[in-house]
Amino acid sequence: MSILLVGADGQLGFELLRELGPAAIPLTHRDIEIGDPIGTLAAVEAAAPETVINTAAYHNLPDCEKDPERAFRVNVLGPRNLARACRKAGARLVHISTDYVFDGRKQAPYTEDDVPCPLNVYGASKAAGEFFVPAAGRWLTIRTSSL
């Protein structure tokens, strides 16, 4: 099984790369700009993976508030571009998201059926990015609260 690991030099990507070993094809920001649809498609097609794991994100909360355009380019357009590329390449997309898509007010654990209600630009951008992931055809979104 070949796995294209996007964001391989980030905290989660680094750990996944250690676990996946030679099955992983690591891509860092230097290798792929997921905000660019043409470059993203080219990278996915060149790798011809069975699965793409997207760990890339613009997640610095203060910076996201200062530069929402960048947050949305990475966190919304990136998953959209990866989903489109995966669909065309016949690859499964595993997208890593966050519990920041919720406001934290629910008194019980959140489920996948709960409607997002983000409180900041980062959460809003991640929630919007999740919307595009099903376009991959075969997909999984994982929301994590911390690494």
Give the active site residue among 58, 100, 110, 122: 122
pTM: predicted TM-score of the whole model, two decimal places: 0.94
Q: If you average pLDDT over residues 123-139, what whole number do you get?
A: 96
Is-catalytic flag, 58?
A: no
Cα angle 102, 144, 14; round to 5:
140
The residue among 72, 61, 78 whose CA lies nearest residue 7 is 78
Tens of pLDDT along 43-86? 999 999 999 999 999 999 999 999 999 999 999 999 999 999 99
Residues listed for the chain: 147
Residue 141 has pLDDT above 80, yes or no: yes
Please state, in angstroms and rounded to a whole number, the distance separating the CA atoms of residues 128 and 125. 5
pLDDT value at position 145? 87
Residue 1 has pLDDT above 80, yes or no: no
Please state, in angstroms and rounded to a whole number, the distance separating the CA atoms of residues 54 and 49. 13
- How far CA 72 is from CA of 17, 51, 53, 121, 137, in Å, comes to 26, 24, 19, 8, 22
Count of helix runs (H) and strand runs (E) in the chain:
6, 5
Give the start-end residues of each E strand in the chain.
3-6, 24-27, 51-54, 92-98, 139-144
Please state, in angstroms and rounded to a whole number, the distance separating the CA atoms of residues 10 and 35. 17
- Confidence band for 32, pLDDT divided at 50, 70 and 90: very high
DSSP 8-state class, residue 75: I
Tens of pLDDT along 79-125? 999 999 999 999 999 999 999 999 999 999 999 899 999 999 999 99
Please state, in angstroms and rounded to a whole number, the distance separating the CA atoms of residues 19 and 50. 17
